[in-house]
Structure 1
C-alpha cells in the first residue's frame, strides 16, 4: 500500500480531541498497521481517549530505547471532511489532519517496515490522544518514557523550510474561577457578590503582571452568571499562556496561584488545565541534532534545526534536559487551518530519514 493510500485511510477516520469513540476507531486502524510493521501494541486507557504505546524489540543493539512522540487527535470535529475533503493534486495532499500529524505516523510505520533486519535499539512510540489541548492526561507517561530513552524524536511538523525544532515555548492553559453570592439584582444588590465583576478585576490585575514580561496571554473563553436580574454567583475564564524562558514562566504562574479576592466574600482560585514547560536548547539536544544532521547528510539531505514558537509533547522531555529534537514529520503547511496540506514527496523523504535515524542514533549525554 502506498504512502498516499495509507494516509487517506487515516484521514477518513476523523479523530477530534475528546471524542473517545472516534479516537478508538482510528486507534484500531493504527494498531493493525503498527502490528504489521513489527510493533507490539498496548494502551493506556483514559475516558477521553486512550494513549497508544508501541514497541519494536531491539535487534543486536543493547541499551536504552529510542522514543518517538506523536498524536492521533486533531483539532477538526467529525463532519469536517464534508467541507474540507481529501484531495491529491501533484505533490499537495489536503484534508483534516494530513499535516498535523497523521502523515508523521505514516512515515514512522513505513520506516519501521523499511529497516527490516538491520540492527537497531528498542524503539518505543507514544501516540497521544489529547495533544491538541496540551496533553493533560499524557504528561506523566511522556516523562516516564523519556527518562529511560537514549533520544526523544518528535513527529510534529517541521519548520516551513523543513528544518527541525530544537526548543519550544512553554504553553499553559489555565482557568481562573470565581464564586460570588447570588441575590436579586434590584431588590437586594448589596447582599450579593458579583462573580463576573470580580473576574473582570482579576483579569485586569493578572494582565498587568503579564504586560511587564515577554509572555503571550490570550483570554480564550469567559463564562458566568445566568440572568440580568440576578447577581452572578459564579464565573470563570480560560487563559492561554506562552513563555519564552523558564524564569518568566515561574513568575507568572506563581502570580496566578497567588490571586486574592478584591471583594469581601468573593472566592477566587486558579488551576492549570494543561502545562508544557518551556524547552530551551541545551547540550544534549544540540548533540542529538548534530547526529541527525550527519545521518541526514549520509542520505543526501541538508538539515538544520532551531527553536519554534509552538508547543508539543517534546516540551516535556526537552525541558528536563533529555536529548530531544522535534519536527521529524513531513513538510507542508496550514496547521489548524482549512488550507492544511502535506507534501507527498516529503512523506517519502521523512520515511527514509526516520529509517536511517532508527538504525543510526547513538546515546547522547544528558544536560
Structure 2
C-alpha cells in the first residue's frame, strides 16, 4: 500500500468540500489539479457559480482509438466543520473521515494508478470530476453526455457494493418540485376570496401518490413549505419529491403525470419542475461485455470481482441509459456512505489502485 496514496487521501479529507460551497470546492480543486498534473494529466475546468467541474486528460501512449472515460466527484454531503466531530483517523485497515468512502479514496486511487502506468501503453484517458454529484449533478449532465459520446467505455469511481462488487445498472433518480400559487385572504373574515396554496398542494400530492401506487416506484416527499400565518389563507406552497425508478416506462409515466398536474381550485396555479434527473440505467449487452473484460483482468491480478444492479443513482445513470458501455463502483471498498460511520479500507485502496492501473492499460490494448 502506497503511503503517498494515504497521504493524498488525508489531504483531500482535511479539505472539506460540501456541495454548493464554491470556495471550499475551489480549494480542493486546486489540490486535485496539482496532483493530477503530477500524474501526467492535462487539466481544464467547466466553470459554474456553485463549483467547477474538473476535466482531466491523460494523452494516449501507443494505443489509438477513442478514450476511456472515468466519472467521479469531489463534493460531499458533509458541511464544513464536520471534521471536528468526525475526525480523520487511520487505524489498521480502517480509515475514517467525511468523504473518505464517497468518494475521495477513489480519486486518490485513480491518481496513484495514473502515476504507476507512466511509460506503459494505454489509450487516452478522460476524467470528469463533478462538483455537484451529491444533489443529482444538475449542472453536469450536458458535460457527461458530451464526453461519453466519444468514449469507448465509461468507468464510474463511485463506491462499490459491500465487499467490493461492481455496479452494472442503477435506479433512475429524479428530484422534482411542485410549486403552487394561491390567493391570500383573511382566513376568518373573507376565506372564500382566497385559494389556499397548502390545501392545493396536499391535493396534488395525493394525486401523485395515486399515480405511483400501482408501480414499483419509490416516492419520498422530502420537503414541504408554504404559508406564513394561521389567519392568512396561504398564497404559496411547494414540495420537493424524490423519485426512484427501476423501469424507464414507469419513469416516463410518472414524470408525464407530474408535467400534466392541473389545479383543483379555480384561483390556484400549479407548476412542476425537475431539480435533477438521472434516467434509469438498465443492464445491457455492452455493459455485460465490459464487466467480463474487467473480471478477466481482475483474475489475472488475483482479485475476484462481480457485478450486479444498485439502488443508488450517480452520473453513470446518464451514460448507461444512453447505451454506452458502463460499469460503476470502482472506488475502494468500505462502508457508511453519508453516515458518521463512514470508512474506507486501506487494503481496498491498494486493490483498486492495482485494478485501475491494469484496466487503463489492459482493457483496450492488443
Q: Match for residue 180 of structure 1? A: 182
CA distance in 1, matches of 2:28, 2:207: 44
Does structure 1 retain, via aligned residues, the 8 Å contact 2:74–2:130? yes
Displacement after TM superposition at 1:270 (Å): 0.5
Alignment correspondent of 1:257: 259
Counterpart secondary structure, 1:240: strand
- Deviations for 1:338-365, whole angstroms, at most 9, x for unmatched residues? 00000001101100000000001129xx
Match of 2:287 in 1: 285
Partners of 2:175 and 2:275 within 8 A in 1 = yes
CA–CA distance in structure 1, aligned partners of residues 66 and 121 of structure 2: 14
Once the two structures are TM-superposed, the CA of residue 228 in structure 1 deviates from its matched residue by 1.1
Q: Which residue of 2 aligns with 1:78?
A: 80
Matched, 1:232 2:228: no
SS in 2 for 1:2: helix
- Distance in 2, matches of 1:222 and 1:240, equals 12
CA distance in 2, matches of 1:161, 1:74: 22
Equivalences for residues 163-202 of structure 1 within 5 A: 163-202=165-204
Residues 230-279 of structure 1 show CA distances to partners (whole Å, capped at 9, x for unaligned) of 11100000000000110100111111111010111100011100000000
1:73-222 equivalence runs, <5 A:
73-222=75-224
- 1:28 corresponds to: 30
Structure-2 separation of matches of 1:147 and 1:27 = 25
| 1:52 and 2:36 correspond | no
Distance 1:235 1:361 in 2: 52
Structure 2 CA distance, aligned partners of 1:144 and 1:288? 20
Tell me which of 335, 339, 343 is aligned to 1:341.
Answer: 343
Distance 1:161 1:337 in 2: 18
Per-residue deviation, residues 146-185 of structure 1 (Å, max 9, x unmatched)? 0110110000000102110000000000000000001111
Offset of 1:208 from its aligned partner? 1.0
TM-score normalised to the size of structure 1?
0.98
Report the secondary structure of 2:322's partner residue.
coil
CA distance in 2, matches of 1:242, 1:160: 21
How many Å apart are 1:190 and its aligned residue? 0.6
Q: Which whole-Å CA distance do the structure 1 matches of 2:38 and 2:152 have between them? A: 25
Q: Secondary structure at the match of 2:175?
A: strand
Looking at structure 2, the residues matched to 301 and 349 of structure 1 have their Cα atoms a distance apart, in angstroms, of 8
| C-alpha distance in 2 between matches for 1:40 and 1:272 | 34
Whole-Å separation in 2 of the counterparts to 1:303 and 1:197: 52
Q: Distance in 2 between matches of 1:76 and 1:319?
A: 29
Counterpart Cα distance in 2 of 1:110 and 1:150: 23
CA distance in 2, matches of 1:130, 1:231: 37
Distance (Å, rounded) in 1 between the aligned partners of 2:347 and 2:316: 25
Post-superposition offset of 1:2: 2.0
Render the CA deviation track for 1:292-311: whole Å, top value 9, x for unaligned.
Answer: 00111111111111110000
Aligned length: 363
Does the CA contact (< 8 Å) of 2:123 and 2:364 recur in 1? no
Gaps of 5+ in 1: none
Structure 2 equivalent of residue 270 of structure 1: 272
Distance in 1, matches of 2:200 and 2:83, equals 42
Aligned counterpart for 2:298 among listed residues 290, 296, 299? 296
